[in-house]
A and B are shown apart, each in its own frame.
Chain A
Amino acid sequence: MSETLIYDYTMPGGHHWSFRMRRGTRLRLTDLEGGANAALLFYNPENLLERYNAPDTLKGQHTFKLTRGNCLYSDMGRCFASVIEDSFGWHDTVCGNLSADACLKKYGEHSYQAFRNGWFLSGEASFLTELAKYGLTERDMAANLNLFSKVYTDEAGNLAYDPSASKPGAQVVLRFDMDTLVLMHTCPHPLNPASAYPRHPVKVEFLTGPAMTEDDYCLNFRPENRRALENTRLYYLDPAISPTVAYQNP
């Protein structure tokens, strides 16, 4: 597979960022030390009311966890991105963020005044900060992805966080199927049991790569994904661009 690295950045733990991914580019995230949480939210930059929809993503693919093969659906029946590689295997999208209040209770006072950039920032404050840059508010904050965090349930539905799932070097590659505004933070997962504020960097790499082909793993992972990707193709219908894949509605 011919991928070309076009940008890379090591994002420290406990920070936030936002950026736009072009359709067809890839985002490779690496948990360098182990123990990281990479929280992501997706919006359509042409219509910020279109956003990542966790329930559609889970329901459409009959899954509670996210891993290779899964597509990340928008609330408009389209696919923001496809998980084309994943060495971690079980990512969370139902636990949301640690709130600023919960962060203070759990890890203690660590203000900017006292600790400068070593302060303890919450995922909630991080997303509110990034949302505001695009005219978005807490009303626009949807259920986010928490990459590199494994949360599972028992028979009775009780949630548990599995710290043993985390290994240094775990890597996820997302191929963007739409132009996407990505909001990201590296603040601790709300269920991380660590008593000290976990602060672990995530390597962020942007890549170009080949277009999706008919034998694409995510396209064929479930029939729902094929239809979501067909809806995505419809959104970008352009007579100057011929589709690389001829879609059929089974």
Chain B
Amino acid sequence: MIRESQRQMLAAHFRQVIPAGDYFIHKIRAGDTFRILDLEGNQAADTLFYNADDPAERYSAVDTVRENGNVYLTAGTLLMSNRGNPMLEIVADTCGRHDTLGGACASESNTVRYALDKRCMHSCRDSWMLAINRHEEFGLSKRDITHNINFFMNVPVTAEGGLTFEDGISGAGKYVELEAKMDITVLISNCPQLNNPCNGYNPTPIEVAVWSQ
């Protein structure tokens, strides 16, 4: 569902551009609104959320799709934790659909998906691994790297139970906006994927912005 936001980027109290292939780790407070902006289009923002006070509570794809009764994320979707608590609500979305089934690219899964010699190529899960080791203060380890959201990705499920990868939903300037229901640690890998036609083999930067309550 397309729902635009009235918030102005100039009024945000925090803004940061994340180049393709970089990670972003940041705390946002309950009541804050967090926007991810697809600056040039067809980018994927591979995102994980944790309870900032206790990372054992984290975004859960299975609880989210089950409790919303839907496999796609959009305006109105409540992102649920593994303990059944609402963590964030998608309050604006100019894209209309985001994926939470496909997970993140990894050097290991790239060997499976594309070819065995793709192991050396940079990947989202490698970005997360570096992020959690560079930022031990967030208390995250590999066991916390779970089933993520791919903002701006379109991964339709067919009636026959197939999973297809399509682009054409996102575009330059499209965004998704989330309101935090608890203090949250956000961990993003701005996808460096060079093997997937979805982004035209051209990973591009995203921007994040936070508005305080």
Which of A78, A95, A157 lies in contact with B70, CB distance below 8 A? A157
Q: Which residues of B contact A113 (CB under 8 A)?
A: none
**Residues A58 and B63 in contact in the complex (CB < 8 Å), given A75-B108, A140-B143:** no
Q: A159-B71, A231-B112 are in contact. Are A55 and B84 (CB under 8 A)?
A: no
Q: Which among A54, A64, A141 has the highest number of chain B CB atoms within 10 Å? A: A64
Q: Does A96 contact B (CB under 8 A)?
A: yes
Report which of A138, A153, A191 forms a contact with B71, defined as CB distance below 8 A. Answer: A153
Q: How far is the CA of A101 from the CA of B85 in the complex (A)?
A: 11
Cβ contact within 8 Å between A101 and B84:
yes
Complex partner residue of B101 from A58, A101, A231, CB under 8 angstroms: A58
Counting chain B residues whose Cβ lies within 8 A of the other chain, the interface size class is 35 or more
**Which residues in chain B, 152-171, are within 8 Å of chain A measured between CB atoms?**
155-159, 161-165
Q: Which of chain A's residues have a CB closer than 8 A to the CB of B113?
A: 59-60, 224
A55, A96, A101, most chain B CB atoms within 10 A: A55
Question: Which stretch (B6-14, B26-34, B54-62) binds chain A?
Answer: B54-62
In the complex the two chains form, what is the Cα distance from A228 to B31 in whole Å? 43
With A143-B61, A159-B65, A249-B117 known as contacts, the answer to whether A231 contacts B102 (CB < 8 A) is: no
A142 x B115 contact (CB < 8 A): no
A202-232 vs B, CB cutoff 8 Å, 1 = contact: the mask equals 0000000000000000000000100110110
Residue-wise interface mask of A (35-51) relative to B, using a CB-CB cutoff of 8 A (1 in contact, 0 not): 00000000000000100
Q: Can you pick out 8 interface pairs between chain A and chain B where the beta carbons lie within 8 Å of each other?
A: A49-B143, A58-B102, A65-B161, A75-B106, A77-B110, A158-B69, A190-B66, A227-B116
Asked whether any CB of chain A lies closer than 8 Å to the CB of B15, the reply is no
**CB–CB A73/B163 < 8 A:** no
* Cβ contact of A76, chosen from B66, B108, B159, B164, cutoff 8 A: B108
- A59/B163 in contact, CB under 8 A: yes
Q: Is A88 an interface residue (CB 8 A)?
A: no
Q: For the complex, what is the distance from the CA of A232 to the CA of B111, rounded to whole Å?
A: 12
Residue among A97, A155, A224, A227 with the most chain B CB within 10 A? A227
Say if the beta carbon of A152 comes within 8 Å of chain B. Answer: yes
B157 & A157 in contact (Cβ 8 Å cutoff): yes
State the Cβ distance, A58 to closest chain B Cβ, in Å.
Answer: 6
Query: Assuming the A-B contacts A102-B84, A139-B56, are A55 and B161 also in contact, with contact meaning beta carbons closer than 8 angstroms in the complex?
Result: no
Contact A63 B162 (CB under 8 A): yes
Instruction: Give the A-binding residues of B (Cβ under 8 A).
Output: 55-56, 58, 60-63, 65-66, 69-72, 82-84, 97, 101-104, 106-113, 115-117, 125, 142-144, 146-148, 155-159, 161-165
Q: What's the minimum C-beta distance from A66 to chain B, rounded to whole angstroms?
A: 9
Interface positions of A from 134 to 155, Cβ below 8 Å from B:
137-143, 152-155
CA distance A76 to B84 in the complex (A): 28
A97 CB contacts on chain B under 8 angstroms: 62
Any chain B CB within 8 A of the CB of A156?
A: yes
Report Cα–Cα, A183/B142, bound state, in Å.
Answer: 20
Q: Is A116 an interface residue (CB 8 A)?
A: no
Residues of chain A contacted by B106 (CB below 8 angstroms): 56, 75, 77
Cβ distance A80 to chain B, nearest Cβ, rounded Å: 13
Which of B107, B110, B146, B158 neighbours the largest number of chain A CB atoms within 10 Å of its CB? Answer: B146
